[in-house]
Amino acid sequence: MLTRRQFAIGSAAITSASIIGRRIAEARATHFNIPLPIPRLVDAAKQENAVSLKVAAGRHAFVRGKPARTYGYSALILGPVIRMCRGDNIEMTVENALETVTTVHWHGLLLVPGDCDGGLGASRIISMHANAVCSAAFQL
């Protein structure tokens, strides 16, 4: 004879298996068929070593017909490639047009001082409040 406890355990196991199985099947069915856009090149020297970026929300369809919310730096997704030269004095201005706090990490710029970089570690978190403009000047 089936007890209430055995029935409850069996029902929970069947329900869990059907939910997990459905999620695995949905994850396998997604194919990214739209290539990412190539970021534009910003040559800091052509702008007197002053570069401005705007962090904003956008939309991009990574899968055809299914646009998703994105964040980008002066673009819908990603951000520009910024060309700078070692020894140059660089002035960066970043406007946060998001409705939330964000940070900026300068990928690939090992010469950026830690107090100007929003990377990992408690001493390197540079927060930009919503609708704020932040500037940093440093020598590469």
CATH number of the domain at 70, please: 2.60.40.420
Any domain includes 36: no
Query: Which domain does 60 fall in, by range?
Result: 41-139
Residue 20 in this model has a pLDDT that exceeds 50: yes
pLDDT for position 43: 93
Residue 79 confidence class, pLDDT cut points 50, 70, 90:
confident
Q: Is the pLDDT of residue 104 over 60?
A: yes
Considering the domain architecture, whether residues 95 and 124 belong to the same structural domain is answered as: yes
How far is 48 from 116, CA to CA, in rounded Å? Answer: 20
> What are the counts of helices (DSSP H) followed by strands (DSSP E) for the chain?
1, 6
Q: Give the count of domains, the chain.
A: 2
Q: What pLDDT does residue 85 have? A: 87
DSSP string over 5-37: HHHHHHHHHHHHHHHHHHHHHHHHT----SPPP
135, 92 contact by CB (below 8 A):
yes
pLDDT digits (tens, 9 = 90+) for 29-54: 566 677 778 888 999 999 999 999 89
Same domain, 110 and 86: yes
Q: State the average pLDDT for the chain.
A: 77
